[in-house]
Structure 1
């Protein structure tokens, strides 16, 4: 029984040993170009396998599996890229193998070696490469920015593969991947990039600036990554410009030839790929000579110009009006050209054309100039107020003297006619020609006008009966010297000397011809003459003195005989009369004033002259120490018009920089008003602030001005109020003109003054008399009397106001006359008497030189006379003469110079 079981068991085992193992179920394949990697699951725990590569020698390779993995991985190496391999995989168990699992696998094909660009444009690129391993069974796949290109055509006979990539953007970089494909297996991929051709610029470049040899182009770029190159086609010169910040590209080209047409090609560049090029042209300009210098004389014109841009390429042609030309070659000359035209006519305009020339092209401009003239060659007709001449070659005349502003007038019909000039003055007369926009000086000539004759030549007795005092008033205008001739005696007096010449050693009671002639340079006035008689009283007096002496001697003998023996024991000492500085002048009643006026006017105003002379020394012994201090000297307009310490106006001193000094004096008024007026000099530029300070501190509500700021070309007073209605600041005071009323002889203004510190505002009336001439007195009394009435009415209505400020230039002549007229007319109205001399004396005790000249003193009497009349007669001839006689005494007026009216 046991034997039977053993036999059965052995048969079973034998049967099992002869059974085939199972095949693998599936094989996964992983490939590279030279390797295939297989992977399958273990079959029934078998660890032995074998495979047979059918493509080769069909050799069987045994595979033993170790470990506990349930998956078998096996790599086959040293294969060929892009090849299809067939395999049979067997399961091996106990020497038996399965029937075999058949499968195939493909290795990865190789990439292409390189890709080149066969052609490219703005919207496409044609690529080209060699077939991989020269195999026709490979296909290729191209990916452009993750986009698969259409299938690539492959020619079986062409070793190259070509593909056109279309629908691209100009000037753009594209990234590509090219795959080699075999039986749906792709190579790893060949990566490369390339660019399309950039577009040309859209529009012709703009010319920003250009000249003969340079041009600046500018254009707009569409891509900051673009570069540009510009080529000059006729020289193959290339300019390369890179774009920087912004979208504008600028190109500066120099070294060009004037008047030449150039062709340019502008390329857009992107990754060294150029656009097709934008072609345009530009023609350089040809400049003209714009700066020409003429050197002129009466018969010659020198024309000079510089080489343009210091460039030798220009030639120059100078053409005359008759067509004659002179050529200058820039290549053979220096940097400056000069041409001289001679034998020309004086005072004639000449016209030329100056051309520049390059390459046969010309560009020219007309140039003009005029030859000069000789002023001395003309006949100048000179009087005491005019200059007249017939001239040529000038369009305007300019006349300038040392005392007046320049006068410029057109020359009409070749005639110079200058009028209303200053007598005796020296005038530089210049003739000008206005040629287009250029003013050309033709010539200059110095002319002296004829001086005016002396005024009111007269004589006075002098040195008993043996002399004459020749007296005259200075003429209007400039006079260097006055020549006086009396009985073969000649006297030369300078203009700043006294208008009085004493002539001695004459015979008594004799008539002499007296002449006076004014001279200004070589010009002399008409001679004024007068027959004068020495005093005959000396001869008669000699006889009378003889008889008088006889009578006196007889009387003395008689008295000696009668009283000689009677001696006195006590003889009294003679009384010495003390010096009287103030003379007692009696007022003149109204009813006797006309007779008094006539008596004073006799013998050429002899009475006025004597009375005025008596007043010359009044007050001069008083001190003016404050005015003479070094810090105050510059505040005085004239060195001989200084306020007395006893009557000067003191300003308030608020800080260390302030001064209490101003050239102004208190003046008495009518009755007991000791400080009704302030007589002041016209403000200087440095004292305007002090003037307004005085007006504010003294609470003045009226300012009376009896001068003009400028008279006969000389500044008499600084303009101390605003020129218009705009406020002006003077120190701490703001002055504003609120109204202005102009009449024929005066101007009335209303001024507002505001103190910046206190904000207090006051109103001040400004009475400005404008008809008082620079030399002399007004030509009539009516206007001044009416003006004084306006002033008096305002003063009368201002009961609480401070003193009225009156000023002219120095504050003594016209100022004293107006103050005296106001007071005397009040006295005349209330007392029916008038004391002219007494009041002038009273004023001179307060300020020197009040009523400065005899003519003003006589004029004051005339005003009183005319005020006594029931009706002022218009155009009446006054009994005084309008003169400027100044009695100069050695103490008060020895520093007074030039005879200027103040």
Structure 2
């Protein structure tokens, strides 16, 4: 029998010339198909995954805090912020993403096939796959965050299994369930106060829900039959829909970040789990702003380029545009100018106690309208919402037809879908 061999074209990184090599069909099939997750994990260790990344080209731009404002003016004048962002884009290759994510049995667990987990920092579940990464910014031994996509109907169990396995007690959600008529995230928590079995071993009970002008807070209790944990859930509801280029009002987001940080439990906890729709732009901005605001209080310098570089080493899709990257610099500038001094008072003063137990049936299902969207003057050049960024209720009204909503069909995801938090 003739052994057909197919030709594969490659590029030589030394001289740029095209090289050709051959693979047998049997060898080619080993790349993606015909292997189980467990077998792949045994064959491909963490060190093997790291060897597929680009050679170390660590990017850094340390700026002393007392020099930052003057340095910022120079960077604006010489377009250095955009240059830094371009350096970040060109610093990574696409082969750092997980091949496990591309296995036939796992493709449906990714919201978009062009927003995948980096292999070296991928969160690994026992017997399953989840599109999530540890984000290690300053110390590879310290996993401060987990960046992930919003759960799909078929990945809710994996999401809660990850929360339990990682001992995470804080979840930050940066997207509404429905935005501009499109489902952005499946509701992965109970609709009422009854316990809900979310996986084979875990039950979740929602005991509290407080709705505020800029965000909503919830309290969950997780149980595996022998142990119970309290998990806090913070959903930022005033970001707005649109594309990944849609930016929030900086003051609103900083107020939310400071509130979440001040409300963290005192005991040692696992990584803070942060998600939007696909775990890219909004997730990256939250993590970056949270970290840089902490640096301003704990350090005498900031290193935004180095910080974002470390973040993208962990999950390449974080911070994907110049406007997102510049927003980090703008937040440091505004913080040093004292523009955020009132945000602590705001985060404490705007709370409206709307516990679920105090709401009647009519109030419980009444759509929440963000007051910020009712005032045209609330929009500014920093990226706050406009009239076109309508917020839809997180609970779909019974009058809404199924045809009014566009559902992301993962079976047809081809990678052409843009980052769309």
Same-fold status (TM-score > 0.5): yes
TM-score class, shorter-chain normalisation, is 0.5 to 0.7
Q: Is the 8 A contact 2:171 2:273 kept in 1?
A: yes
Instruction: Provide closer, same or farther for how the CA distance between residues 871 and 646 of structure 1 changes in structure 2, counting only shifts above 3 A.
Output: closer
Which position in structure 2 is the counterpart of 1:704?
172
Is residue 761 of structure 1 aligned with residue 228 of structure 2?
Answer: yes
Which position in structure 1 is the counterpart of 2:307?
839
Is residue 772 of structure 1 aligned with residue 239 of structure 2?
Answer: yes
The correspondence of residues 613-692 of structure 1 with structure 2, limited to 5 A, is 613-620=86-93, 621-653=95-127, 659=128, 661-670=129-138, 674-692=142-160
Q: Is the 8 A contact 1:812 1:849 kept in 2?
A: yes
Offset, 1:898: 4.8
Instruction: Provide closer, same or farther for how the CA distance between residues 736 and 745 of structure 1 changes in structure 2, counting only shifts above 3 A.
Output: same
Which position in structure 2 is the counterpart of 1:786?
255
Matches of 1:753 and 1:779 in 2, distance apart?
Answer: 32
Offset, 1:641: 1.1
Offset, 1:880: 5.0
Q: Is the 8 A contact 2:150 2:279 kept in 1?
A: yes
Matches of 1:631 and 1:871 in 2, distance apart?
Answer: 49
Counterpart pick for 2:272 among 789, 796, 804: 804
Q: Is the 8 A contact 1:667 1:675 kept in 2?
A: yes
Matches of 2:248 and 2:107 in 1, distance apart?
Answer: 35
In the alignment, structure 1 segments of 5+ residues that lack a partner are 1-578, 654-658, 884-894
Offset from partner CA, 1:18-50 (integer Å, 9 cap, x none): xxxxxxxxxxxxxxxxxxxxxxxxxxxxxxxxx
Counterpart pick for 1:609 among 63, 82, 91: 82
Q: Is the 8 A contact 1:601 1:607 kept in 2?
A: yes
The correspondence of residues 233-248 of structure 1 with structure 2, limited to 5 A, is none
Is residue 816 of structure 1 aligned with residue 284 of structure 2?
Answer: yes
Question: RMSD value over aligned CA atoms?
Answer: 2.5
In the alignment, structure 2 segments of 5+ residues that lack a partner are 1-53, 343-376, 386-413
Q: Is the 8 A contact 2:175 2:237 kept in 1?
A: yes
Offset, 1:670: 4.8
Instruction: Provide closer, same or farther for how the CA distance between residues 705 and 876 of structure 1 changes in structure 2, counting only shifts above 3 A.
Output: closer
Secondary structure in 2 matching 1:663: strand
Q: Is the 8 A contact 1:828 1:834 kept in 2?
A: yes
Which position in structure 1 is the counterpart of 2:64?
589
- Normalising by structure 2, report the TM-score: 0.67
Matches of 1:782 and 1:616 in 2, distance apart?
Answer: 27
Q: Is the 8 A contact 1:734 1:753 kept in 2?
A: yes
Offset, 1:871: 3.8
Instruction: Provide closer, same or farther for how the CA distance between residues 670 and 592 of structure 1 changes in structure 2, counting only shifts above 3 A.
Output: same
Offset from partner CA, 1:27-82 (integer Å, 9 cap, x none): xxxxxxxxxxxxxxxxxxxxxxxxxxxxxxxxxxxxxxxxxxxxxxxxxxxxxxxx
The correspondence of residues 526-605 of structure 1 with structure 2, limited to 5 A, is 581-602=56-77
Secondary structure in 2 matching 1:595: helix
Matches of 2:287 and 2:71 in 1, distance apart?
Answer: 22
The correspondence of residues 31-180 of structure 1 with structure 2, limited to 5 A, is none
Matches of 2:309 and 2:279 in 1, distance apart?
Answer: 16
Which position in structure 2 is the counterpart of 1:901?
420
Tell me which structure has the larger Cα radius of gyration.
1
Which position in structure 1 is the counterpart of 2:370?
none
Offset, 1:686: 0.3
- Normalising by structure 1, report the TM-score: 0.32
Matches of 2:282 and 2:219 in 1, distance apart?
Answer: 23
Instruction: Provide closer, same or farther for how the CA distance between residues 779 and 662 of structure 1 changes in structure 2, counting only shifts above 3 A.
Output: closer
Offset, 1:601: 2.8
Query: RCO higher in 1 or 2 (8 Å CA, sep ≥ 6)?
Result: 2
Secondary structure in 2 matching 1:707: coil
Matches of 1:898 and 1:752 in 2, distance apart?
Answer: 36
